[in-house]
Amino acid sequence: MPMAPDAVVRGVLWQVTDDRFHLDAPDVACYDVAGGRTITIEPAPGATGAEVARILGMAPLAALLFQRGCLAFHAAACIPPLLDRERRPGDEAQGAILLAGCSGAGKSTLLAALVQRGWRALADELAIVDLDAHGRPIVFPHPSPIQLWPDAQAALRWAETPAGRLEPAREPQPLRAIHWLSTHNRDAVEVSELSGVARFRAIGSLIYNTHIADALLDRALYLHKAGVIAQTVSLHRLGRPRGHWCIDALVEKILSASAHQCPD
C-alpha cells in the first residue's frame, strides 16, 4: 500500500520520508529525489563526475521513476535487427527484450555479445518500463556505457568492436520478452517458460531494488502495470552453469527465442 505522509522507511545508505528519497553514497555524493520531479546532488569532495553520474543512474533514477509511477527493472535492454524483408520506412526494430537478473547474472556480458551481432542497446543495468497510450508495455532508452569485467572484455575482444555498433537506440520500443538470467550447478544452459502466477511473481522479483520500490511505488498502480506485463509479454527463465563461460550458448537461446517473438 502507499505510505502514509509521515512514514519513514530506511535501508542501507537511503531513507524515504513522505515523497522524498535520500541516498548518501560515501565519498561520491548525496542525492535527494523529490516528488518524481527533481534530483538534487551534493558531490563529495574529490568525487569525479563519472562516479557521481554512475550512482545517479542507479537507485536515485529508480526512485524518481517509482515516484512517477513508472517501473524500473534490474535489467539490460536491447532490440534485435529487422530482417530486410520486414523493414519499413522509419522502422528500427521489432521490439525490445529485457535481460534481467541480479548483479553477476551476466546481463551486461550477454548484452555486449548481442550488440556484437547487430543488436541495439537500450539500457544496461536499469531498464525503464511503462505503458503507452494504448496500455501496452514499452521500454524507454537509458543510454549508458556497457560495463564489463576485464575477463569478459577479453573473452569478447570488446576493444575490437566497431564504435558504430555501440551507438544506442534512442526511440522507445514495445516490450516483447523478458529473459530472467540465473545460475545453476548443472552442465548446460537451460530455458524454461514461466506460466501462471509464476510470471507475476517473477516481475516483482526483477524490479530494481524491491525495498525502494515498496517504499515509493503506488501499490495499485504497480499491480495494474505488472499484471499487463505478465499477461502480454513472453517470460523465460534462462539458467547457465555457474563458473563456466557459456555466452555463445546463451546468445543462441536468445536468438532462437527472438525468432518466434513477432511484433503485433
Parallel, antiparallel, or unpaired for β 137-140 and 126-131?
A: antiparallel
Is the same domain home to 83 and 46?
A: no
Residue 263 lies in a domain: no
187-212: pLDDT as tens digits: 889 999 999 999 999 999 999 999 99
Distance CA 186, CA 25 (A): 38
pLDDT means over runs of 10, the chain (264 residues): 56 90 96 96 96 95 96 95 53 78 89 93 94 96 88 92 80 94 89 93 94 94 96 93 88 83 50
Is the same domain home to 103 and 231?
A: yes
pLDDT at 84: 42
Nearest to 258 by CA among 234, 239, 238: 234
Is the same domain home to 160 and 178?
A: yes
pLDDT at 170: 84
Is the same domain home to 199 and 81?
A: yes
pLDDT at 197: 92
Helical segments of 13-164, H only: 49-56, 59-68, 107-115, 150-156
- Which CATH number characterizes residue 251's domain? 3.40.50
Last residue of a domain, one of 23, 46, 68: 68
pLDDT at 8: 81
54-68: pLDDT as tens digits: 999 999 999 999 999
Is the same domain home to 122 and 217?
A: yes
Is the same domain home to 42 and 102?
A: no
Residue 264 lies in a domain: no
